[in-house]
Amino acid sequence: MRYVLVVCMVFALGLGIVSAQDDAPGAVIEGELPAEVVGLLDGLVRSAASNATLPGVALWLATPDGTYAGAGGFADLDAEIAVQPDDRFRIGSLTKMFTAVVIMQLQEEGTLTLEDRLADWLPEIADTIPFGDAITLRQLLSHTSGVFNYTDSEAYVDAVYANPEAAFTPEQLIEEALARGEPYFAPGADGAYTYSNTNYVLLGLVIEAATGSTVAEVYRSRIFAPLGLENTYLADAEPASGQLISGYSNRGGGDLLDITHWNASAAWAAGALVSNAPDLITFAEALFGGELFSDPATLAAMTDVSIGDNYGLGIQAYDNPDLLGHSGGTPGFSVTLVYNVPQQSTAVALINTDQVPPTVFLQLFLTLGALGG
């Protein structure tokens, strides 16, 4: 009975369900999953793959009892190459979870504290930023710094889509933020919250200042290597780990255009990672299982989503404190990771377009939430 609500919501959202008797294209099921959930995910993959504005999708659900790995549509529209469940996608702002993990690890080790000021680590940059001497690392992590988000500037976004191969340094991204807009509010203003990619570009620079290594090296030594994430890397900052599938955009209308050549330095520590579903599931299980920290209080602090708009420290909740993770979008890609805390289950949706119907991800959340029913 706990799945009835979910199935009803599928029809309410206009997503057709295909019989669970036929496997979805590319679906692999290991262990035991309820037939209702398998059928729901099969139908979601099929309906997503048949959407004219959505090239392809990889959809995974990993539970203690079993795993569903499905894929549909095309990784390359021109060559009609099918998406595979373990294909690599740009993961956009899921990168923020990795950046936040490193900052929290450095706090555990005593290298820094979340109450450190931006000026303590980046004095020259802080001098150029309004309130730069007052902003704390905690405020950057929680998007309560008030620092302008450079991707909120339509002029900047238009420039990126017009010249997607343009490279940026982190310092140039901060300059873009300063040139494009004013602070949203004073840092730490009561109840104030505004999501800003600039916050995580600044945190990336703090990581480099605190460790003496590049962000790419730090991700690899602290997260990728210990967890065996062989398909995850920081795009345009280190050699690619395998082939990246094609990403498409029809921003402004018209036909889908291949924008895979977009230079990810425009997102860096805020959104430049490439990964695949198995690696993301491994990362989520390690993170929410407490394996990446020494002190349970560290994970508790990260997952306290009462700060603003259901956001914690590099982690967001999906209208339910038991459903944690992050979503992300970059030119050509849209992604979501959701971890069901009581059920210790992870869902990952990877789509190779930046123009994705929101109901696709909404249904994923509902499906995962039903497992806790």
Catalytic residue, chosen from 47, 50, 93, 327, is 93
- The string of pLDDT tens digits covering residues 177-196 is 999 999 999 999 998 999 99
Residue 117: DSSP 8-state? B
Which CATH number does the domain housing residue 203 bear?
Answer: 3.40.710.10
- Same domain for 230 and 101: yes
Assigned token pair, 198: 């600039």
Assigned token pair, 271: 């959104």
The answer, yes or no, to whether residue 121 has pLDDT greater than 50, is: yes
Number of structural domains in the chain: 2
Is residue 192 situated within a structural domain?
A: yes
Alpha helices per DSSP H over the chain:
4-12, 35-49, 95-108, 118-121, 123-128, 137-142, 154-162, 170-180, 197-211, 215-219, 225-227, 277-288, 296-302, 358-370
- The string of pLDDT tens digits covering residues 215-230 is 999 999 999 999 999 9
Mean pLDDT of 91-115: 98
Contacting residues for 246 by C-beta, under 8 A, at least 6 apart: 55, 75, 76, 77, 258, 260, 332, 352
- Same domain for 111 and 6: no
pLDDT band at 251 (very low <50, low <70, confident <90, very high): confident
Mean pLDDT of 29-34: 90
- Same domain for 258 and 368: no
- Same domain for 296 and 201: yes
Is residue 252 situated within a structural domain?
A: yes
| Residues 72/26, Cβ–Cβ less than 8 Å | yes
**Sign of the Cα pseudo-torsion (22, 27, 29, 33, in order):** negative
Please indicate whether residue 93 is annotated as part of the active site: yes
| Residues 312/302, Cβ–Cβ less than 8 Å | yes
Is residue 260 situated within a structural domain?
A: yes
Mean pLDDT of 237-258: 88
Domain interval for residue 245: 89-322
Q: How large is the angle between the packed helices 358-370 and 35-49, nearest 10 degrees?
A: 170
- Same domain for 7 and 145: no
- The string of pLDDT tens digits covering residues 72-94 is 999 999 999 999 999 999 999 99
